[in-house]
C-alpha cells in the first residue's frame, strides 16, 4: 500500500515533468474510484498551467491557478509519467490519463493505474482558500502533524499523547495525530525507539518520544531516498520498484531473529493490522 514515502517520491518525480506544464486534456475510464471523479473541474482546467506539485499527508497535490487536484493512491494506485508520448495503450486498470504540454513544448502523459480502485481524484477550488486549508477539505485523516515538518519533535509527541490511553502504534497511525505514518513505518520506528507497540501512548516517556520522533523521520527519509517501499503493488513514476523493503528490521519478519538480540520477531494484530516487534527489545 502506498504510504507517505511513496507519495512523496511520486510528487518529487512529477514535479520536474509537469511543473509549469499546460493541461491539454484528460481521459477517465468511467469506473468508480473512492470519490466521484471531478470531470467538470478538469474540463474547466484545459489550457491551465500547473503552478506547483506538492504533497499533503498521503495526497499528491497538483496546484492550478484556480485550485488543487488532490490525488490519493489508495491501496494499489500508482502514476506513470511518460515524457514525449502522445498516446498510450490503455490498460484495464488505467483509470485516468492527463496529457500536458511541457514547458519545453514536448508532451507529458500521466497515467493513473489502480487495480483495486480505492484511490481518488478530488478537486479543491481555491476560492479564497490557502494551502493550510487543504487538509480540512481532504478530511480528518489529512489533518495531523506532518512527520517531516521541523515542528514534529519528541516533545510535540509527548505533549500530544498526554491522556491518550490508546496503544502507541494505533495512535501513531491515526492521521488525526500524525499523517502518513503507515503500518511498516510505525513498526520499524517503534523497534528503533525500543517502545512496545501495545504500550498506552500516555505511558511513553518523553525520553522515548525523543528517540521515536527522529526514528520516524530517519526511516521515512531513508524510504524516500530509496524510492519508497517494495510492498505489494507500488512502483514509482519512473517504473522502478522501491528498495526500502530490503531494509525492514522487524516488518514481515515473524519468527526470524531480532537484529539486536536474536530473539524471534513476534507478530500480533492491532486494529486489524499486523504488528511486528521484538518482545526483548521493546518495552
Ligand atoms: Zn530484540
Tens digits of residue pLDDT in 170-182: 999 999 999 989 9
Q: Establish whether 86 is a catalytic residue.
A: no
Q: Establish whether 273 is a catalytic residue.
A: yes
Q: Establish whether 58 is a catalytic residue.
A: yes
Q: Taking residues 111-124, report their average pLDDT.
A: 96
The CATH number of 154-277, from 3.20.20.70, 1.10.8.50, 3.40.920.10, 3.40.190.100, is 1.10.8.50
pLDDT at site 258: 98
pLDDT at site 139: 85
Ligand 1 midpoint to CA 206 (Å): 22
Residue 169 per-residue DSSP state: H
Residue predicted with more confidence, 127 or 19: 19
- Range of weakest confidence among 188-192, 219-223, 227-231: 227-231
Q: Among the options 55, 56, 58, 82, which is catalytic?
A: 58
In the predicted structure, residue 233 carries a pLDDT above the cut 80:
no
For the domain covering 4-142, report its CATH number.
3.20.190.10
In the predicted structure, residue 61 carries a pLDDT above the cut 60:
yes
pLDDT at site 229: 55
b/e for 183-220, b at 16 or more Cβ within 10 A? bbbbbbbbbbbbbbbebebeebeeebbbbbbebbbebb
| pLDDT > 70 fraction of the chain, expressed in percent and rounded | 93
265: cell is 520477531
Q: Establish whether 2 is a catalytic residue.
A: yes
In the predicted structure, residue 201 carries a pLDDT above the cut 70:
yes
Under a CB-based contact definition with an 8 Å cutoff, are residues 17 and 108 in contact? yes
Q: In what order do the strands lie in the sheet with 67-72?
A: 52-56, 59-64, 67-72, 120-125
Q: How far apart are CA 53 and CA 131, in angstroms?
A: 12
**CA-closest candidate to residue 177, choices 221, 137, 213:** 213
The ranges of the chain annotated as CATH 3.20.190.10 are 4-142
Q: Among the options 3, 6, 8, 63, which is catalytic?
A: 3
Tens digits of residue pLDDT in 78-117: 999 988 887 788 899 999 999 999 998 899 999 999 999 9
What does 7-74 look like in DSSP terms, one character per residue? HHHHHHHHHHHHTTPEEEEEEE-----SS---HHHHHHHTTPBP-EEEEETTEEEEEETTEEEEEE-T
pLDDT at site 173: 95
The ranges of the chain annotated as CATH 1.10.8.50 are 154-277
pLDDT at site 232: 38
Residue predicted with more confidence, 23 or 87: 23
Amino acid at each position: 500500500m502506498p504510504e507517505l514515502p511513496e507519495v512523496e517520491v511520486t510528487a518529487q518525480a512529477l514535479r520536474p515533468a509537469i511543473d509549469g506544464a499546460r493541461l491539454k486534456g484528460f481521459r477517465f475510464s468511467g469506473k468508480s474510484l473512492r470519490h466521484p471523479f471531478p470531470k467538470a473541474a478538469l474540463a474547466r482546467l484545459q489550457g491551465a498551467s500547473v503552478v506547483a506539485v506538492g504533497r499533503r499527508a498521503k495526497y499528491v497535490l497538483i496546484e492550478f491557478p484556480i485550485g488543487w487536484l488532490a490525488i490519493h493512491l489508495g491501496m494499489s494506485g500508482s502514476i506513470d509519467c511518460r515524457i514525449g508520448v502522445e498516446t498510450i495503450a490503455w490498460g484495464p486498470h488505467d483509470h485516468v490519463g492527463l496529457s500536458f504540454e511541457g514547458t519545453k513544448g514536448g508532451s507529458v502523459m500521466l497515467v493513473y493505474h489502480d487495480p483495486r480502485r480505492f484511490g481518488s481524484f478530488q478537486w479543491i477550488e481555491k476560492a479564497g482558500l490557502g494551502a493550510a486549508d487543504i487538509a480540512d477539505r481532504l478530511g480528518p485523516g489529512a489533518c495531523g502533524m506532518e512527520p517531516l515538518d521541523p515542528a514534529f519533535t519528541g516533545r510535540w509527541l509527548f505533549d500530544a499523547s498526554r491522556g491518550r490511553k490508546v496503544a502507541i502504534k494505533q495512535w501513531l497511525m491515526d492521521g488525526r495525530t500524525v499523517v502518513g505514518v503507515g503500518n511498516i513505518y510505525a513498526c520499524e520506528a517503534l523497534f528503533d525507539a525500543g517502545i512496545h507497540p501495545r504500550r498506552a501512548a500516555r505511558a511513553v516517556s518523553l525520553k522515548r518520544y525523543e528517540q521515536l520522533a527522529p526514528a520516524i523521520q530517519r526511516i521515512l527519509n531513508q524510504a524516500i531516498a530509496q524510492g519508497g517501499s517494495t510492498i505489494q503493488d507500488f512502483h514509482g513514476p519512473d517504473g522502478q520498484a522501491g528498495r526500502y523493503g530490503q531494509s525492514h528490521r522487524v516488518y514481515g519478519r515473524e519468527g526470524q531473529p531480532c537484529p539486536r538480540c536474536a530473539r524471534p520477531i513476534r507478530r500480533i494484530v492491532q486494529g486489524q493490522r499486523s504488528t511486528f516487534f521484538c518482545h526483548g527489545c521493546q518495552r
